[in-house]
């Protein structure tokens, strides 16, 4: 979140509690540093899941019906499962068909493969093995064809497409079965690889003229701050793309000058970032339950099935689980790709707000359907693509407490501030490492000292 100094109020904190637009938006060479003494930190310790904030625990207890101990255990187990899933994804290669977790606290990891001989290796990592017919890469290729066909036909009756790794199918959400089947036929994809889900719901960007009170765009629209970032010497925050266009001016709720939209993408993606003036200070926190803050430690992407919490200026702090990743949603304003689908509720006024999995930033609210009374489905724009596309650096609590590490000079040398996807390989201290979980690198997470994120190869 960000805060500013004023003569009238002193240092006031501006909640990084993201929001939806509150109006309709038209649409170096050297030896590897010696390892720290003591035991190698676990994935939970590396990612901060072993010390969750009170705000995170309270919301998980309320929304997922857990005790405090169960909530802590769940976060620890989900963090450890992410590392094991990354190892298996790299080992299985083209045969990998997805990974997910389930269970109240155990976070039982399941990994799917198209090759039965992989089952023993999967079980050796403490995961359940499932043999399926279609790899994840092939399912994504099917989804790409469906997205292309939907774009050509401007298929408003088939607003959502996503890969469901748990059923080894691509799901088309359609207002009628006829519309869904027509899209499958138009895309020319095998019908056996697609499931049509009939629903009258149509996701929308969570925008309205009455909700939220975080910041104003051009003194007309309202949104809320998402996640603090920097670009060089410029401080700012990430938010939703539908909140504003490059050059749009922002103010605080009292009309005090705040910043300017530096970049924005919508539709296609739903991402933006605002550069704030020198009177504002970025902090590595977001607003949680009851106004308490939650620290941001990094941007490690959580697994399907993992718990996730969202902050928004209309409905506050709510939790749920990740249902699918890389979903495509067609709003009335246009189609957005690469979103993550969740069971977290949201309402108009919550756009741009931050999503957190433990201490790891996940993204910013895009849109959805339903509400926080009867429940609903919400989609968020993952934060790592936002950081990568705009060249931003996440502001984290861990980064503030660690000096920069020496950088290798090799062309593929590991470097802080770079976003690495699962499977990427780097050089650090003349040693090769492979990425286990997608994240933005920071000085505290050098490959040599973070086995939760990197595997020596």
Residue listed under structure tokens 């279609």 = 134
Question: Do 297 and 245 form a contact (C-beta atoms < 8 A)?
Answer: no
pLDDT at 210 over 80: no
> Domain containing 434: what range?
402-456
DSSP state of 291: G
Residues 209 and 280 in one domain: yes
The CATH number of whichever domain residue 231 belongs to comes to 2.40.10.10
Q: Mind listing the pLDDT tens digit for each residue in 254-266?
A: 778 889 999 999 9
Distance of CA 76 to the CA centre of its chain: 18
Dist CA 351 CA 366 (whole Å): 6
My answer on whether 376 and 244 are in the same domain is yes
366, 406: one domain? no
- Helices 177-187 & 136-153, crossing angle to 10 degrees? 110
CATH code for the domain of 164 = 3.30.300.50
Q: Which residue has the higher pLDDT, 211 or 232?
A: 232
Nearest to 130 by CA among 165, 171, 162: 165
The verdict on 168 and 222 lying in the same domain is no
Are residues 241 and 355 both part of a single domain?
A: yes
Q: Give the total number of structural domains in the chain.
A: 3
Question: How far apart are the two ends of the chain, measured CA to CA in Å?
Answer: 38
Q: What is the mean pLDDT of residues 183-210?
A: 80
Predicted pLDDT of residue 166? 97
| pLDDT value for 167 | 97
Please check whether residue 344 is in contact with residue 309, taking contact to mean a CB–CB distance below 8 angstroms.
yes
Distance CA 8, CA 177 (A): 60
Measured CA to CA, the distance from residue 185 to residue 149 in angstroms comes to: 9
Q: Are residues 176 and 312 in the same domain?
A: no
Neighbours of 354 (CB within 10 A): 33
- The band of 401, judged by pLDDT with boundaries at 50, 70 and 90, is very low
Residue 398, pLDDT score: 73
Q: Does 65 reside within a domain?
A: no
* Domain end marker among 356, 378, 394: 394
Give kind and range of the element (H or E) at residue 228: strand 227-231
Residues 247 and 172 in one domain: no
**Residue 107 maps to a domain:** no
Domain shared by 261 and 340, yes or no: yes
Same domain, 265 and 381: yes
Residues 6+ apart with CB under 8 A from 336: 266, 267, 268, 269, 270, 328, 329, 330, 366, 367, 379, 381
pLDDT digit string (tens) for 431-447? 999 999 999 999 889 99
Domain check: are 389 and 408 in the same one? no
Burial class (CB in 10 A: 0-12, 13-18, 19+), 409: exposed
Query: Residues with Cβ < 8 Å from 141, sequence gap 6 or more?
Result: none
Question: Is 149 within a domain?
Answer: yes
Q: How confident is the model at residue 31 (pLDDT cuts 50, 70, 90)?
A: very low
Q: Is residue 358 part of a domain?
A: yes
Q: How far apart are CA 427 and CA 189, in angstroms?
A: 40
| Any domain includes 74 | no
| Band of residue 32 on the pLDDT scale cut at 50, 70, 90 | very low
Q: What is the pLDDT of residue 350?
A: 86
Q: 119-128 — which CB contacts under 8 Å span 24+ positions? A: 121/88, 121/91, 121/92, 122/88, 125/84, 125/87, 125/88, 126/84, 127/81, 127/84, 127/85, 127/88, 127/99
Residue 159, domain member (yes or no) = yes
Buried residues in 366-377 as b, exposed as e (16+ CB within 10 A): bbbbbebeeebb
Share of the chain above pLDDT 70, in %: 86
209/171 same-domain check = no
Q: Catalogue the active-site residues.
A: 242, 270, 351
36: pLDDT confidence band, cut at 50, 70 and 90?
A: very low
Position 409 scores a pLDDT of 65
> Any idea what the CATH number is for the domain that residue 449 is in?
2.10.10.20
In a domain, 85, yes or no: no
Confidence of residue 10 (pLDDT cuts 50, 70, 90): very low
Inter-helix orientation angle 54-64/68-92, to 10°: 90
Domain boundary among 394, 414, 447: 394
- Residue 160 and residue 261 in one domain: no
SS3 call for 56: helix
Average pLDDT on 123-129 reads 96
Residue 404 reports pLDDT greater than 70:
no
Q: Are strands 108-113 and 128-131 parallel, antiparallel or unpaired?
A: parallel
For residue 336, what are the β-bridge partners? Answer: 268, 329
Q: Exposed/middle/buried for 403, CB within 10 Å: 0-12, 13-18, 19+?
A: exposed
Last residue of a domain, one of 144, 165, 198: 198
């Amino acid at each position: 979140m960000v805060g500013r100094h004023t003569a009238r109020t002193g240092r006031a904190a501006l909640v990084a509690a993201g929001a939806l637009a509150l109006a309709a938006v038209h649409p170096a060479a050297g030896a590897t540093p010696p390892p720290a003494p003591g035991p190698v930190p676990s994935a939970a310790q590396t990612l901060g899941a072993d010390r969750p904030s009170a705000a995170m625990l309270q919301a998980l207890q309320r929304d997922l019906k857990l005790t405090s101990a169960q909530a802590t255990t769940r976060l620890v187990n989900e963090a450890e499962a992410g590392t094991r899933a990354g190892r298996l994804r790299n080992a299985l290669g083209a045969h990998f068909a997805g990974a997910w977790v389930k269970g109240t606290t155990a976070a039982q990891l399941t990994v799917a493969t198209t090759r039965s001989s992989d089952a023993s290796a999967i079980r050796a990592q403490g995961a359940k093995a499932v043999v399926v017919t279609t790899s994840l890469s092939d399912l994504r290729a099917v989804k790409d064809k469906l997205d292309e066909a939907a774009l050509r036909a401007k298929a408003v009756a088939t607003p959502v497409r996503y890969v469901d790794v748990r059923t080894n199918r691509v799901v088309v959400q359609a207002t009628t079965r006829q519309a869904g089947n027509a899209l499958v036929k138009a895309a020319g994809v095998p019908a056996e690889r697609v499931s049509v889900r009939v629903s009258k719901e149509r996701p929308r960007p969570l925008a309205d003229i009455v909700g939220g009170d975080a910041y104003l765009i051009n003194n007309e629209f309202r949104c809320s701050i998402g996640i603090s970032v920097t670009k060089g010497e410029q401080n700012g925050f990430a938010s939703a793309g539908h909140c504003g266009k490059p050059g749009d001016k922002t103010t605080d709720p009292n009309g005090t000058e705040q910043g300017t939209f530096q970049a924005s993408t919508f539709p296609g993606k739903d991402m933006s970032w605002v550069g704030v003036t020198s009177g504002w200070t970025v902090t590595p926190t977001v607003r949680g339950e009851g106004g308490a803050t939650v620290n941001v430690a990094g941007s490690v992407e959580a697994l399907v099935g993992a718990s996730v919490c969202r902050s928004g200026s209309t409905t506050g702090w709510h939790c749920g689980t990740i249902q699918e990743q890389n979903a495509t949603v067609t709003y009335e304003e246009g189609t957005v790709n690469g979103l993550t689908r969740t069971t977290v509720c949201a309402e108009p006024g919550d756009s741009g707000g931050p999503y957190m999995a433990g201490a790891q930033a996940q993204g910013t609210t895009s849109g959805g359907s339903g509400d926080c009374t009867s429940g609903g489905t919400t989609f968020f724009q993952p934060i790592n693509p936002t950081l990568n596309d705009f060249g931003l650096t996440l502001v984290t609590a861990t980064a503030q407490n660690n000096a920069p590490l020496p950088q290798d000079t090799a062309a593929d040398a590991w470097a802080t501030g770079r976003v690495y996807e699962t499977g990427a390989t780097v050089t650090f201290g003349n040693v090769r490492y492979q990425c286990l979980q997608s994240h933005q690198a920071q000085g505290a997470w050098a490959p040599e000292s973070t086995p939760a994120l990197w595997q020596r190869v």
